[in-house]
Amino acid sequence: MKHVCLVLLCLLCVGCTKFENPIVGEKGPALDEALIGHWSAEKDDSRFEVVITRNGDEGKLEFKATEPGKQPETGVTRLITARIEHHDFGSVLDAGVGDKSWRYFRYEFSAPGKLTIYPDDDGFWTRAVHDKLVSGTVEGTQVRSATITASSEELRVLVQGYGAVIFKDEPVAELTRE
C-alpha cells in the first residue's frame, strides 16, 4: 500500500491539470452506489478515512487524514462517478471556498471490500489541449499546466476513445471498506 498522504493527494487530485466540468455518463451526474460507505487506508501510524454518502444524484465525500505529530487534515468534496466502456471514473470538487477545479481519478474494486484508485496523467491532458483533442489552455514553458474547458459531454467522448491512456496504470492507493 502506498503512503497515506498519497491517498489524500489522489482523492483531492492535487495536480497541474484543472477542469471546469466533471466527467459524466450519458444520463448525467451520478453516484456509483458501491462506493457508499466508510473506507480507510493505513501505513505506519498514519491513517486516511473517507466516508461517501449520497447527495441527490451525486455523492458527498468527507475525508480525514491523521499523521503522528500533525494536526488532522479534513475536508469535503462533491463526487460524481461515470461508467464509460469497462471503466469507472470519479470526479471530485472541493466543497469549500478554495480551488473550484474538478479533479479526476479512475477506480476499481480489486477484491471484495478493496477500492483501488488510479490518478489521471497530467501529461495526457496537456498534449490533448495542444493537439486540439479537447478545448482548454496550456500555461508555462518548463512546468506546463493545463486548464480544460471542455463540457462534460466532450470529456465523456474523449474518455471513450482514450480511457486506457488517460489514467496511470500504477495505483496510487488501495482503500479497505470499514
Burial class from Cβ neighbours inside 10 Å (0-12, 13-18, 19+) for residue 166 reads buried
Q: Tell me the three state secondary structure of residue 19.
A: strand
Q: What nine digits make up the cell of 116?
A: 483501488
Whole-number average pLDDT of the chain:
87
- Kindly report the pTM of this predicted structure: 0.88
DSSP 8-state symbol, 135: -
143: pLDDT confidence band, cut at 50, 70 and 90? Answer: low
The pLDDT, as a whole number, for residue 96 is 74
Helix (H) / strand (E) containing 119? strand 114-119
pLDDT in tens, 9-46: 445 444 568 899 999 988 989 999 999 999 999 888 88
pLDDT in tens, 81-130: 999 989 999 999 988 766 688 989 999 999 999 999 998 888 899 899 98
Q: What nine digits make up the cell of 30?
A: 451520478
Supply the CATH classification number for the domain 4-177.
2.40.128
Domain boundaries in the chain? 4-177
Least confident of 49-58, 97-106, 109-118, 156-165: 97-106
